[in-house]
Amino acid sequence: MRLKIMQVGEPTLRLVARPLSAEQIVSEEIQRLIKEMRETMHDAPGVGLAAPQVGLPLQLAVIEDREDYLKDLSPAQLEERERKPVPFHVIINPKIGETTERKVEFFEGCLSLAGFSAIVPRARSVRVEYLDDDAQPKVVEASGWYARILQHEIDHMMGKFYIDRMNSRTFMSLDNWNRSWKGKTISEVQRLLELPG
């Protein structure tokens, strides 16, 4: 079943989500929610979806960066973004531990802010502790695009959007991004928009 994705302005999206207990995680209700969120993320399509985005203030997100999402990117773009496929998994009650001081900037979009994109600085790598969909503790050390996805989804659980972190001069419609900026590197965009690099 496809769930409705809430759009910016929905109050739930600005709440700090509540953690789930192990008993709740393995319950039929949460397991069904995970399945429905996965279907909704694939239908959108997207690489991550947090429970607040479907109207539930829970610390839960589904993530998957599929191989077919990468086919339109050149090898140089994949290398610049450090982007590789990420298998489907669930993160529950995540805590970001160590992050690199080094920030990287790329365009980000959001299923709850449909039709727009902006350049967002994020830590290049992160260490995240979380529970999986079996309520088992996990730790992931991620870098590149995967680290960006994790930070973006965890932000949703804290009531934040990428627009809270973006370089506001780069905020644009996806139509304009596709028309004017899609094939450009971030350093080219920064130079053309006269942004600090």
By the 10 Å C-beta count (0-12 exposed, 13-18 middle, 19+ buried), 100 is classed as middle
CB half-sphere exposure, 35, CA atoms < 13 A:
8
Based on the residue annotation, tell me whether 153 is a catalytic residue of this protein.
yes
Active-site residue, from 64, 105, 108, 153: 153
Residues 6+ apart with CB under 8 A from 57: 12, 15, 16, 17, 18, 51
Helices of type H across 26-110: 28-43, 75-81
Residues designated as active site: 153
